[in-house]
Amino acid sequence: MEDYKYLFKVVLVGNAGVGKTCLVRKFTQGIFPPGQSATIGVDFMIKTVKVNDDKIKLQIWDTAGQERFRSITQSYYRSAHAIVLVYDVACQPSFDCLPEWLGEIEQYANRRVLKILVGNKIDKEDEREVPERVGKNFADANVFDYFLETSALDATNVDTLFHEVATRLTNDMKKSDDRYRFYIITK
């Protein structure tokens, strides 16, 4: 049995096709799945990372972005320690839907959940429709804990994203057990 200090549940949400599955697979398996088909319902993968001297297990939940799966995926928000909201920087409509996703997070997630905003697919710079500053401004205006742009294709900031999540959650846990008292799993 693997030994770890904390187990954190991280949920990725956002429109279909923004690259949630590719981010998860790149981080957990080191691969970029070409021609990735849409996620049906919810899938998850696990990866253990080190934060200082502590082993932290991340249970990363990849949710379907299609409307027809929303009622299924909303139930996964409740016990999440972190929610990563992903949009595609080369697809303005995926950014325009962020307020709707944020509304779901606020309605269904724990009020103290760590909220991360991610602009993915920065490898498509020539096709960019959402400037980085626009994403940053949205994150600031809506009190996200962290904003980052990534590329699952070339791995830009993928490890940084998940290590930042693990570090922030671990540091918060060490500061105050109250934030996660009712649903944290420790060993």
How many structural domains does the chain have? 1
Residue 32, pLDDT score: 65
CA distance linking residue 69 with residue 125, whole number of Å: 30
Cα–Cα distance measured from residue 60 to residue 159, given in angstroms and rounded to the nearest whole number: 13
Question: For residue 181, what is the domain's CATH number?
Answer: 3.40.50.300
Cβ neighbours around 143 below 10 Å, total: 8
Q: Specify the pLDDT at position 69.
A: 39
Asked, for residue 1, whether it belongs to a domain, the answer is no
Low-confidence ranges of the chain (pLDDT < 50): 40-41, 65-70, 179-187
Which positions ≥6 away from 151 have C-beta within 8 Å? Answer: 120, 121, 122, 123, 157, 158
Q: Residue 85: in which H helix or E strand, if any?
A: strand 82-88
| pLDDT on residue 45 | 77
Q: What is the pLDDT of residues 35-71, one digit of tens each?
A: 655 554 455 778 999 999 999 999 999 866 444 334 5
User: What is the rounded CA–CA span in Å between residue 21 and residue 34?
Assistant: 11
Query: Does a structural domain hold residue 88?
Result: yes
Confidence at residue 65, expressed as pLDDT on a 0 to 100 scale: 45
Q: Is residue 180 part of a domain?
A: yes
Q: To 5 degrees, how large is the angle CA 71–CA 115–CA 153?
A: 85
Domain interval for residue 64: 6-186
Q: Which two tokens stand for residue 109?
A: 């997630």
In a domain, 32, yes or no: yes
